[in-house]
Amino acid sequence: MTLRDEIQQVIDGEPVAIFMKGTPERPACGNSLRALQALWNAGAPISAVDVLPDPRIRQELSALTDWPTIPQVFVNGELIGGADITEELFASGELGRKLDEALGAEREQVVKTVAVAEAAA
């Protein structure tokens, strides 16, 4: 499986995925923390991928999505944006509605870190 395949598998397979700098326990960037907090406050289950261990993750992700910045947030495989957009969606209530539509209102809020590129490293 290629690195691009692994990234796509996370995007397609996780209800809410955030590709971020650092992990939920140790965010390494203010924008990643802001997006993470907006997702948490909206009650999202969060699957995080740390892009810092391998620069190829960020390169492949940006090539795949045509979105140059990190973090990148996906809901049911759809790129919703970075920190600013995620915060705006939360503030307007749209993020909660989007999560309700995609995952149901009775979703379990869990946070986990997903590793990619381990086999390729």
What single DSSP character describes residue 66?
Answer: -
- 88 pLDDT higher than 90: yes
| pLDDT tens digits, one per residue of 13-39 | 999 999 999 999 999 999 999 999 999
With 0.85 as the threshold, say if the pTM is over it: yes
**Who's near 88: CB < 8 A, 6+ residues apart?**
none
What CA–CA distance (Å, rounded) separates 108 from 16? 12
Per-residue pLDDT, 118: 62
For residue 27, the tally of other CB atoms under 10 A from its CB is 20
Residue 119: its pLDDT value, please? Answer: 45
Copy the structure tokens of residue 91. 């503030």
Confidence category of residue 40, pLDDT binned at 50, 70, 90: very high
Hey, where are the domains in the chain? 3-113
- At the topology level of CATH, where does 3-113 sit? Glutaredoxin (3.40.30)
